[in-house]
């Protein structure tokens, strides 16, 4: 008997964390992964990354459009549309497990649908922190809804245990996005150049800046970044922002910045292999994306994390943290591109593992207990567990 796993993907970002695990699930005789795509993943306005997923040979039988508009009320309405879509999807699919990732607002929809339909939830990347955005609260809500937790670091595991989760439910596996770097060969220079629209090399500045959804002005950090880069002569590659309130305004800022420069391009969607190709080749990554504090360290790339969007998230020594102020960003750019800092970045250890998360995830799913045990979650105070709440946390083996 196989375990049917509904794997939800909503953006190019979470797909980079899912492509290797889904491949591992697909190759396991006891697992039946079914991809369900929603939000930016299926929207033409965001590059319809689902086409890239299907081009790699993954089937996506369920697609749930839900996005609309660029305001906070549009985000709220998108969640409602997604809720209806996932209720219908799960009613037809009847999965044994719902597999959700990280902290995107649209991930609440499949989690709520699964909870009310008595489908156990496996949540990936709980216990992390990003205090500047609503993602932090969403991540914690998903933790409370989930029956099993696959976390990236020991600190994340400790946080989940402190939220009252039984330690047998918590498994430290590392970040699955790193599996692409560890196991997929690098793409050719020409492939990266074609996808990006210009060569990416040791002079290139990558920009990945997203709305800060807890700020009164969610685009202010983006304006600070583009102001800081105004007089930088190096080639610049700007990545599309997330599908959050203020995202379209940031896209317009990026387009305006690139329009006046022959060596600057804004890209709608980069598949995981291409993004890793950029991280391997570029000079520096600047912005407020989780990629700047997670994937950049594994790639050995200097990164500048601006503002408070990723506040609280663990990071390697290749990451410079700076206020969202143009002068501070310019100073950090100078420091990040010195030979000494570049050399130190190449040797910086990552707190997010070594790229072997996918096989661990597959084995955890195969060894899950009964649905009855998964769904009944007692509240366990840390003091009644043990002195060390991590003592029984799984390592994914």
Tens of pLDDT along 243-297? 888 999 999 999 999 998 999 999 988 889 999 999 999 999 999 999 999 999 9
The torsion of the CA quartet 23, 195, 336, 321, rounded to 10 degrees, works out to -60
Residue 87 — pLDDT band, cuts 50, 70, 90?
very high
Tally the residues of the chain.
Answer: 397
Do 286 and 145 share a structural domain? Answer: no
- For 201, 297, 318, 329, the CA distances from 81, given in Å and listed in that order, are 42, 37, 40, 39
8 Å CB contact between 80 and 106: no
Do 62 and 175 share a structural domain? Answer: yes
Rounded mean pLDDT of 306-311? 94
**228: pLDDT strictly greater than 60:** yes
pLDDT at 132: 86
- Is 129 among the domain residues? yes
Do 165 and 220 share a structural domain? Answer: no
**Both structure tokens of 30:** 């006891």
- Is 392 among the domain residues? no
Do 172 and 57 share a structural domain? Answer: yes
Do 142 and 65 share a structural domain? Answer: yes
Strand partners, 118: none
Q: Sheet of 205-208: strands edge to edge?
A: 264-267, 236-239, 205-208, 284-287, 303-306, 319-322
- Is 91 among the domain residues? yes
| Distance (Å, whole) CA 254 – CA 225 | 10
Do 104 and 80 share a structural domain? Answer: yes
The whole-chain average pLDDT of the chain stands at 93
Do 376 and 311 share a structural domain? Answer: no
**145: pLDDT strictly greater than 50:** yes
Do 315 and 229 share a structural domain? Answer: yes
pLDDT at 391: 61
| pTM greater than the 0.75 cutoff | yes
Do 143 and 225 share a structural domain? Answer: no
Strand 148-151 with 170-172, pairing: parallel
- Is 394 among the domain residues? no
**Cα dihedral 312, 313, 319, 324 sign:** negative
- Is 262 among the domain residues? yes
**Both structure tokens of 146:** 């989930």
- Is 396 among the domain residues? no
Q: Which domain holds residue 151?
A: 3-180+354-385
What percentage of residues in the chain have a pLDDT greater than 70?
A: 96
Rounded mean pLDDT of 310-323? 95
What percentage of residues in the chain have a pLDDT greater than 90?
A: 84
**Both structure tokens of 56:** 């790699």
Do 218 and 152 share a structural domain? Answer: no
If DSSP codes are grouped into helix, strand and coil, which group holds residue 151? strand
Pinpoint the alpha helices (H) of 100-208: 108-116, 135-145, 154-162, 177-183, 189-196
Strands (E), 218-338: 236-239, 264-267, 284-287, 303-306, 319-322
Do 277 and 371 share a structural domain? Answer: no
Alpha carbon distance, N-terminus to C-terminus of the chain:
22
Tell me the per-residue pLDDT of 34-58, one tens digit each, with 9 for 90 and over.
Answer: 999 999 999 888 877 898 899 999 9
- Is 395 among the domain residues? no
pLDDT at 397: 57
Do 233 and 118 share a structural domain? Answer: no
Residue 387 — pLDDT band, cuts 50, 70, 90?
very low
Residue 71 — pLDDT band, cuts 50, 70, 90?
confident
CATH of the domain at 69: 3.40.50.2000
Report how many domains make up the chain. 2
- Is 393 among the domain residues? no
- For 45, 286, 296, 342, the CA distances from 318, given in Å and listed in that order, are 33, 12, 8, 8
Rounded mean pLDDT of 172-185? 95
Residue 69 — pLDDT band, cuts 50, 70, 90?
confident
């Amino acid at each position: 008997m196989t375990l049917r796993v509904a794997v939800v993907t909503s953006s190019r970002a979470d797909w980079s964390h899912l492509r290797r695990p889904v491949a591992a699930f697909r190759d396991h005789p006891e697992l039946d992964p079914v991809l369900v795509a929603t939000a930016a993943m299926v929207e033409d306005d965001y590059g319809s990354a689902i086409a890239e997923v299907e081009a790699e040979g993954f089937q996506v039988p369920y697609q749930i459009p839900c996005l609309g508009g660029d305001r906070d009320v549009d985000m709220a309405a998108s969640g409602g549309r997604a809720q209806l879509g996932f209720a219908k999807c799960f009613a037809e699919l009847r999965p044994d497990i719902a597999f959700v990732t990280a902290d995107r607002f649209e991930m609440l929809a499949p989690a709520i649908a699964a909870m009310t339909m008595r489908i156990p939830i496996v949540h990936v990347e709980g216990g992390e922190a990003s205090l500047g955005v609503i993602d932090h609260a969403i991540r914690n809500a998903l933790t409370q809804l989930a029956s099993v937790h696959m976390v990236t670091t020991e600190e994340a595991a400790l946080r989940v245990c402190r939220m009252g989760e039984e330690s047998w439910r918590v498994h430290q596996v590392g970040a699955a996005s790193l599996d692409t770097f560890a196991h997929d060969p690098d793409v050719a220079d020409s492939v990266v150049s074609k996808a990006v629209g210009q060569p990416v090399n040791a002079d290139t500045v990558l920009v990945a800046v997203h709305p800060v959804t807890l700020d009164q002005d969610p685009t202010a950090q983006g304006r600070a970044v583009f102001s800081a880069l105004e007089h930088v002569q190096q080639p610049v590659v700007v990545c599309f922002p997330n599908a959050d309130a203020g995202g379209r305004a940031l896209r317009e800022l990026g387009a305006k910045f690139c329009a006046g420069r022959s060596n600057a391009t804004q890209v709608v969607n980069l598949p995981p292999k291409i993004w890793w190709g950029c991280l391997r080749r570029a000079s520096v990554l600047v912005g407020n994306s989780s990629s700047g504090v997670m994937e950049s360290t594994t790639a050995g790339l200097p990164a500048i994390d601006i503002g408070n969007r990723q506040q609280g998230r663990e990071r390697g020594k290749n990451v410079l943290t700076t206020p969202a102020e143009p002068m501070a960003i310019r100073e950090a750019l100078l420091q990040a591109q010195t030979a000494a800092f570049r050399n130190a970045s190449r040797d910086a250890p990552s707190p997010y593992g070594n790229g072997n998360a996918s096989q661990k995830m597959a084995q955890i799913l195969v060894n899950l207990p009964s649905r009855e045990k998964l769904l009944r979650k007692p509240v366990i105070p840390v003091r009644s567990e043990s002195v060390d709440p991590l003592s029984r946390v799984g390592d994914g083996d």
